[in-house]
Amino acid sequence: MRRGDPSPDGKGRLQIQRGIEVGHVFYLGSLYSDKLGAAYLDESGQSRSIQMGCYGIGVTRLLGASIEQNHDERGIIWPDAIAPFEVVICPINYQQSVPVRDQAERLYEQLCAAGLDVLLDDRGERPGAMFADAELIGIPHRVTVGERGLKLDQLEYTSRRALQPAMIPLADSVPFVCGRIVR
């Protein structure tokens, strides 16, 4: 078959497209049916071993396919539904600023209570390092908590896909972030 040939149903023309194999099928023959004594009688009444096969979706294949389709120069961009964490909270000066630490921990608890998978980056790293690590591992949503924003009752939200930060009202942060998650 070649590009442009009639399709099997005769309703169109074939096209060549790239694909990713995530499923698999294995012919097992009678390997297990012989061991289990699984047989049937054929048309002539003879006992025959059942011919077996198995099929499934490879979890590791799915992960590889997802990464292949969802990445950029900064790293992975996990779809929300399979991300190890849906949201990362990046507190600026976490160990030096009590208001930042308190708000980051409060937000963490609220987002977890809302059913989200959340990572609180409490390592005390500089913002660039926290952001780069979160982007590299592909956490799809980031909330930055900093003293400047808290003075304005705001947090910074960034989608891993867009990387365009938006300031959101502190009071609306949980419903705002929850509303961005696609499962």
Residue closest to 85 by CA, chosen among 112, 132, 119, 129: 119
- What pTM value is reported for the model? 0.77
**pLDDT tens for residues 81-125?**
999 999 999 999 999 999 999 999 999 999 999 999 999 999 999
Tell me if 118 sits within 8 A of 173, measured CB to CB: no
Residue closest to 141 by CA, chosen among 165, 122, 124, 114: 165
Predicted confidence pLDDT, tens digits, the chain (183 residues): 899 999 999 999 999 998 888 888 999 999 999 999 999 999 999 999 999 999 998 888 899 999 999 999 999 999 999 999 999 999 999 999 999 999 999 999 999 999 999 999 999 999 999 999 999 999 999 999 999 999 999 999 999 998 799 999 999 999 999 999 998
Tell me if 33 sits within 8 A of 2, measured CB to CB: no
Residue closest to 159 by CA, chosen among 139, 145, 178, 174: 139
H/E segment holding residue 41: strand 39-41
End-to-end CA distance of the chain: 38
Tokens representing 67 are: 């990464």
